[in-house]
Amino acid sequence: MPVFIFKLIIQVLVVDTVINRSYATGTSQKDNDKKGPTGIVLMNLGGPSTLEGVNDFLTRLFLDPDLIPIPFQTRLAPIIAKRRTPKIQEQYDKIGGGSPILSWTEKQGKAMETLLDKINPEHAPHKSYIAFRYAPPLTEDTLLQMKKDGVKRAVAFTQYPQYSCSTTGSSLNELWRKSEQIDPEQSIKWSVIDRWPTHPGLIEAFARHIETALKQYPSDVKKKVVLLFSAHSLPMVVVNRGDTYTSEVAATVHRVMERLEFSNPYRLVWQSQVGPQPWMGPQTNEAIIGLGKKGHNDILLVPIAFTSDHIETLFELDLEYGHEAEKAGITGLKRAESLNDDPIFVEAMANIVKDHLRSGKIMSTQLTIRCPKCNKEVCQRSRDFFANQNL
């Protein structure tokens, strides 16, 4: 074969290979564009960013039977919200004029998605979204944005580490309802991270914040400081229905104390009781005063069911309970910082999502069953919605 013909054949084969590779790469890119980003939806209660948003926030909150079951709810909720608005506005005014929870969640989400793109390239790009239950961005607004962004695969990631029907359950019920309206064709396929109370990264973040806070005490009293783990309380009617929240909060506390090698005496207490119904106790403020009367002057508050600062930490724990302790002569009350955008915590978030996506699971086995005494049809319908997702 003449040399020039041989060279020509080689050139044709090279060009053909390049074209085929380019075509394959182009097809892959088109597929990725068609697939859209993997959406990670951070679900939380939320909070009003301005004083003007307080009334709407409270109205949505009191209208939610999953959180606050009250009779004649649709009629009474707006009345209760209107009456409470001035008082709650004063509280938000004292912590800067609004809740910082949106800002913290945005920071957590952005840092998480950047890390996920590095450690979980097979599902990249990842894009974080926020779906608050009672304040913007609301679930329906987030769903509309996700459809606009071309999201086809999404993870509903609760920011309550411990599951409760009143918190995560309510957010999932709302996600199902709004999906039925906004995405009836189910173009977005969902899976759920519905609880993570004992994740090692979460436990490590809590433990380090406690260790840092304990350094503020004199060395001769450090081991005597009472660790008072405070979580949002629940109405006893919800607890007695079979809600898993209290046991999961206790599991978090126990793991944290294991990590700390049970270095200090501790108790689990409950805050933010609303209304006349019996709630889970003892209440945090009552526990502070009770311990003070028993000679415990040095007490460290640890918000154990919150992952970022909001009104329950900045006003209730820091200002309200701090003032009550001061009046009672307790001078050693301090608080461990919230997790906020702690890199250890953000890494934990990313690892939770990565492991979830790689597992192929839709939701935890715990979410497949309802509370033993639950009689709400919405809870079953939302579970069916997620269970029937075809990933």
Dist CA 113 CA 118 (whole Å):
9
- Interval 86-100: pLDDT, tens: 999 999 999 999 999
Strands 153-158 and 226-232: unpaired
Place of tokens 């939770």: 352
Task: Give the closest residue to 251 by CA, choosing from 268, 272, 237.
Answer: 268
Residue-level pLDDT at 382: 96
Architecture of domain 38-197+343-387: 3-Layer(aba) Sandwich (3.40)
Question: Are 21 and 56 spatial neighbours (Cβ–Cβ below 8 Å)?
Answer: no
pLDDT digit string (tens) for 48-104? Answer: 999 999 999 999 999 998 887 788 899 999 999 999 999 999 999 999 999 999 999
- Give the whole-number percent of the chain exceeding pLDDT 90: 86
Tokens of 270: 């409950």
State how far the Cα of 371 lies from the Cα of 155, in Å rounded to an integer.
23
- In 3D space, the residue among 7, 84, 86, 101 whose CA is nearest the CA of residue 49 turns out to be 101
Cα 94 from Cα 320, distance rounded (Å): 11
Given this model, what pLDDT does residue 183 score? Answer: 97
Question: What average pLDDT does this structure show over 358-367?
Answer: 97
Find residue 332's DSSP bridge partners: 298
pLDDT of residue 34: 56
Question: Which residues have CB under 8 Å from 173's CB, separation 6+?
Answer: 66, 378, 379, 382
Burial of 355 from C-beta contacts in 10 A (0-12 / 13-18 / 19+): middle
Question: What are the two backbone dihedrals, phi and then psi, of residue 38, each rounded to the nearest 5 degrees?
Answer: -80, 115
Task: State pTM to two decimals.
Answer: 0.89
Instruction: Report helix, strand or coil for 214.
Output: helix
Each residue's pLDDT tens digit, 196-227 = 999 999 999 999 999 999 999 999 999 999 99
Task: Give the chain's radius of gyration (CA, Å).
Answer: 25
**What pLDDT was estimated at residue 11?**
40
Is the pLDDT reported for residue 7 higher than 90?
no
Q: Given 3.40.640.10, 3.30.360.10, 3.50.50.60, 3.40.50.1400, which CATH number is that of 200-335?
A: 3.40.50.1400
Cβ atoms of 312 and 320 within 8 Å: the answer is no
Would you give the end-to-end CA distance of the chain in angstroms?
Answer: 56
Among residues 64, 172, 163, which one has the least CA distance to residue 389?
A: 172
Cα(88)–Cα(59) distance, integer angstroms:
12
